[in-house]
Amino acid sequence: MSFFETLETLFGVKDLYEVLHLTKAASESEIKRAYRKKSLEVHPDRASEADKKVATEKFQCLSRVYTVLSDPEKRALYDESGEVDDDVVVQERDWDAYWRLLFKKITVEDIAEFEKEYRGSEEERNDLKAAYLDYEGDMDTIMENVLCATIEDEDRFKEIIEKLISEEDLPKFPAFVNEGKKKKKARKQKVSKLTYAYT
C-alpha cells in the first residue's frame, strides 16, 4: 500500500494538509502546532491495548506527514507536484523517538490533562463547528473527526450544535436536523461491537 493509500485508509483523506486540518498557506509554527495536537489525539500512549496497533500506524503515518511539511524542500515538491520523496515512504524510523525530540516525553497523565482541558473548551467548540460545516451535519463523520470525542459526547455535541443553529451561527443541514433514531442507534451499536470485539 502506498503512503497516500495508507493516509486515506487511516485518516480518510489523501492530502497532507487535510490530515492536519490546514491549508497550503499554513506557517511552520501552525504546522508544528497542528501536528502536536493531532499526534496527541492518536498517540499510542492514549490507546487501549486492543487499539494500540492502529494508533501506532496512525502515529507513524502522521509523523511522516510532518517530515514532509516541516522540510521546505520536501514541502515545495509536494505543493508543486502532489508527490513526496520516496525516502519518506520507505524510510524506517523510530517515530516515537522522533516525536520525543520535538516535544517533551508524554505521559498518560499528560494526555488525560489535555483531554480534561480540551473538553468543553472554546477550542473544542470551534472544532465542533468546523466539523459540522465540513461534513454538512453528518454526525457519524463529526464524531470520528472531533478531537477526543467519544460516544458519550454525542448528546452534548448535539445540544451545542442545536444552540448554534438557533442562534443562526450555523446553517440547518438536513443530515443533522433530519437524522433518525435508527441512525443514532446504529452508531452506538457500532461502538459497542468494536468494544466487544476488542475485549
> Cβ atoms within 10 A of the Cβ of 117, count?
11
Taking a C-beta distance cutoff of 8 angstroms, is the pair 59, 36 a contact?
Answer: no
User: Which is nearest to 199 in space by CA: 52, 53, 56, 50?
Assistant: 50
Q: In the CATH scheme, what architecture does the domain 3-109 have?
A: Orthogonal Bundle (1.10)
Q: Would you list the domain boundaries of the chain?
A: 3-109, 119-197
The residue count for the chain: 199
> Cβ atoms within 10 A of the Cβ of 139, count?
20
Q: What's the pLDDT score for residue 120?
A: 92
Taking a C-beta distance cutoff of 8 angstroms, is the pair 173, 137 a contact?
Answer: yes
C-alpha span between 112 and 107 (Å, rounded):
9
Q: Counting beta carbons within 10 angstroms of the beta carbon of residue 31, is it exposed (0 to 12), middle (13 to 18) or buried (19 or more)?
A: buried
> Cβ atoms within 10 A of the Cβ of 22, count?
19
> Cβ atoms within 10 A of the Cβ of 188, count?
11
User: Which is nearest to 154 in space by CA: 169, 133, 176?
Assistant: 176
Within 13 A of 20's CA, how many CA atoms are on the CB side?
A: 29
Residues of the chain with confidence (pLDDT) below 70: 86-107, 190-199
Q: Counting beta carbons within 10 angstroms of the beta carbon of residue 86, is it exposed (0 to 12), middle (13 to 18) or buried (19 or more)?
A: exposed
Taking a C-beta distance cutoff of 8 angstroms, is the pair 97, 12 a contact?
Answer: no
